[in-house]
Every structure is written in structure tokens, then in C-alpha cells.
Amino acid sequence: MAKKVKVRFAPSPTGDLHVGNIRTALFDWAYARHTGGTFLFRIEDTDTTRVTDEYIQAAIDTLKWLGLNWDEGPEVGGDNGPYLQSQRLDIYAKWAQTFLDQKDAYHCYCTPAELEATREAQRAANVAPGYDGKCRDLTAEQVAAYKAEGREAVVRMRMPDGSTTFVDEIRGEVAFDHKFVPDFVLVRADGSPLYTLAVAVDDVLMKVTHVLRGEDLLSSTPRQIRVYQAMGVKTDDYPVFAHLPFVMGQDNAKLSKRNGEVSIAWYREQGYLPEAICNYLALLGWSPGDDRENITMKELCELFTVEKVHSSPARFDMKKLEAINGDKIRALTLDEFLKWSLPFLTKAGIITGTDSEVALVKAALPIIQERIVKLDEVPQMLKFLFVKKFEVEAESVSKIADQVSKDVLKRSLKELEPLATWNHDSIEAALRASLIEEMGLKPRIAFTAIRIATTGSTISPPLFESMELLGKEVSLARIAASLTL
């Protein structure tokens, strides 16, 4: 009988979570949901110099915002806590002592200078760098001498001769010759555990069955398997590994802030919807198999399998993300669009959130929903409706200063003032009849002048709908004022 799947997302938040972190979390979450398994969230915070409470809370908030709800972990609890490694130090210390007692590990007294000298000699001899086992079999006298010098020891795991072979769910069989996996440090001299100890111990004690993580951690796998062995875990009970492909920038370099790896907080501030981010990241290294690019979270859970994850690197494409985000915005209901838009308008100082302002925003949103790709465009598109002191943008003033534009504005005032019904149909009919048919102007010439005069910019929602929302009095007053520029 197959084990119930249990996956974990275990970031070490030394800053805001980035694209690579979230792609891993997304695949873990989707796999757990697809299999009816458990998604565990654990914080690796033993590096107290870089991991802060603020970053931990930001990681929690980011997963919540993305909708990647976890079954075990911070704020949720579970039977295998605590879920912050800083609260599990006594567990790691116990296991480190067990390994020492079993002779699977030993104390190493080499100084940083000695270790560096060894590396230099290895490089000079063209030998793969790594610990040379100097402290593997120290005598009691040697240990006493080192202690007398005041040296502090780290705890090293003893790697046996031979090799480690395992089957990666994405890459197939992988083998590591132990010549290239030297004895590694489990515990620092100050008693704090290193990643390789803590991650392996936690995965075993928290009953993790599948480890989906980045390809950059592939080389650490034999070390973790060595810890499993020392813990007495049977081979059949090791977690299954699946190392996800790298995500590359457009320049085929590893992601950086320059080519795509910006924190998820940045994408949130820019106005990307969480479902759009998840949709796009799901396509980085995985495919539903039918060339679809627009999928819902529900569909992702139904379709995701590790077998469909590619082994080749994925390329991050900001344009594709924007296109998906635009599609997701267009798929929102009006109430959903309103909910997502209001925070951007209030943050930009466009509205304060009064009932009348919200009602006007709701009336205006349908005319921009097809025209934006990010939510941060909403304030720019709608600010003309709320400005207390209307001004034409400086770069647009010259575009309505010529005589043709003045004639257009004067004629539009004449045609619009008598209108008894003020809606986009009546406004368009009046202006087309006078400016296009009678004056013989091209729409671009005629309507650009009116757009600038009423909205203050060459970029705005559809003109006639914008004027309807502004109202007759405000529209005419702005056109009249623009004649004086």
C-alpha cells in the first residue's frame, strides 16, 4: 500500500520570498492537493544573523496571499511541531550526540586557517577540494592537546567509502562517488546545527515522504541520506526526491533582480494577481500537456503530477506573466475587480474610500478592465475622476495649444452644452456629427484634444464613457478651462 504523500516547503527567509522559492512551494502544494496528501510548512531559521521575525512573518503572509494554504506548520499547528527550527535545537543536539556515540560522527578541531591551507594545497595538486579527515581518529592525547590550546570543535559526519545512489523522480538514477562528498559539518563550534543535520532530522521526524526542491540542492542529497542512515532509517523509508529545474532569465543566466527574480512582494505591489503568479510559475518547468497557458488553481491541483515536470531549465518571461495577469484581470467579476483595485487607489491617494468614491470607482472599472494588464495601472487610469484641482499634464499642454485643437474644443462646447441626455451614446453622436462629419477631422485629431481637455492626459479610459462618468458640468468646465492654456 502506497504511503500517503506528505511534502514540505521549508524556506530560510533571509529576505522576501522570490520566484524560485514560490515555484517550489507551489509545486509542493499542488502535489499534496493532487494526491490528497499533506502540505507541511516549516521555517529554517537557525541562521539567526540573517533570518528575522519580520522575514518569517512576511513568508507566512506571502503564502497566505497566494492561497497556498498549509496543513501543518506555523499558525496551523500539527503533531510534529514546533515548526521553526530555532525552537528545535535540543532535538538536533540530541541526534548529534547520538551520532557521536555511534561513531558515525566525530569532533573536528581544525582551525579555519588550517582548513584553508588544506584547500590551497588540494587546488595546487589539482585535487577536488574537501576535508581530508585529519581529525577522524584522534587519540585522547591529541584531543587533550587541542583543548589545552583553547580550540573549539565542530561535529563532522563520517562518510563511508563507496557511493550513494538514489532515484530522483525527475532526473532518474543519480549516483555520487564519496570521493567527492567529504566528511561534512553537522554542528558548528558554537553548538548551532547546520542545514544538512536539521533538514534531514526534521524530514524524518515530521514523516515527510516526498522532497520537491530546487536543482541547486541536488548535491546535498547524499549528505542527507547519510544522516538518515545514522538515524537508523530503513532505505524504503527515505523520502522520495524530486529536484526541480532551474529558472533562468531571458539572457539564459540564473535569475536575478535584473532579469526576473524579484521578490513576490514586488509583484504584489506592481498589481499582479496571486492566481496569475501561480498560473505562470506553474508553467516554469511543468505543463498540463495540452499547450494551455491559462489554468485555474483548481485545475492545477487536478492536473499536477511530478512525472510532467521537465528536467531542463525553464525561462522566465515577464511578457508572458503580464499577458496571463491581463487575462486573469479580465476574468474577474466586477465585485472582485473592485476588491483588488481599491487598495491601489487608496495607497496612491486617489480616493479615501468614501461610499460615493467607491460607487464611482465601481461604475468606472468596466471601461478599463479590458485595457490594463496590472492593477497598479488603475490609479493612473481613474485619477481624472477624483482630482480636486484639475490640471492638464505638462507634457500634454502643447498638444492642445494649436489652432485646430482650439477650434475642436470650442466646437465641442457648442455641441455639448445643449444636450438634454448626458450619456456616452449622446456625447459620441454629437461630437462625431460636428467634428468628423462637418469639420472633416480625423478622429485621432478631434478626440485627442477633447481627451486631454477632460482627463488631463493622452492616456485614459474610452473618451465618451469617461465624459459620462465625469458628468456634464465637470466635462464642460474642463473643456472651457483648457481653452485658456
Residue range 415-453, pLDDT digits in tens: 999 999 999 999 999 999 999 999 999 999 999 999 999
Examine the residue annotation and report whether 257 is marked as an active-site residue of this protein: yes
The answer to whether 319 is annotated as binding is: no
- Give the confidence band of 259 by pLDDT, cuts at 50, 70, 90: low
257 among the known binding-site residues?
yes
Q: Quote the cell numbers at residue 457.
A: 492626459
List CB contacts of 172: < 8 A, sequence separation 6 or more: none
Question: pTM for the complete prediction?
Answer: 0.92
Cβ atoms of residues 122 and 131 within 8 Å: no
> Cα-Cα-Cα-Cα dihedral of 459, 464, 469, 472, to 10°?
120
Q: Name the percent of the chain lying above pLDDT 90.
A: 91
- For residue 260, the model assigns a pLDDT of 63
On whether the CB atoms of residues 156 and 186 are closer than 8 A, the answer is yes
Query: pLDDT value at position 68?
Result: 98
d(CA 160, CA 183): 9
Mean pLDDT along residues 79-98? 97
Q: Residue 365: exposed, middle, or buried by beta-carbon count in 10 A (0-12, 13-18, 19+)?
A: buried
Question: How far is Cα 356 from Cα 364, in angstroms, rounded to an integer?
Answer: 12
pLDDT, position 200: 98
Residue 403 has pLDDT above 90, yes or no: yes
Q: Among 176, 177, 194, which Cα is nearest to 185's?
A: 194
141-151 pLDDT, tens digit each:
999 999 999 99
Greater model confidence, 58 or 249? 58
Report helix, strand or coil for 263: strand
pLDDT at 477: 96
Domains of the chain: 6-74+247-315 (3.40.50.620), 88-244 (3.40.50.620), 332-382 (1.10.8), 394-482 (1.10.10.350)
Per the structure block, which three cell numbers stand in for 311? Answer: 528536467
- Mean pLDDT for the stretch of residues 359-382: 97
Place of cell 526541480: 244
Distance of alpha carbon 317 from alpha carbon 19, whole angstroms: 12
The answer to whether the annotation marks 317 as part of a ligand binding site is no
One-letter amino acid identity for 62? T
Cβ-contact 376, 271 below 8 angstroms: yes
Is pLDDT of 1 > 60? Answer: no
- DSSP letters for 100-121: HHTTSEEEE---HHHHHHHHHH
Q: Which helix (H) or strand (E) holds 248?
A: strand 247-248
Enumerate residues 6+ apart whose C-beta is below 8 A from 1: none
| Catalytic residue, candidates 64, 257, 308, 347 | 257
Residue 457, classified by CB atoms within 10 Å of its CB into exposed (0-12), middle (13-18) or buried (19+), is middle
The pLDDT assigned to 251 comes to 74
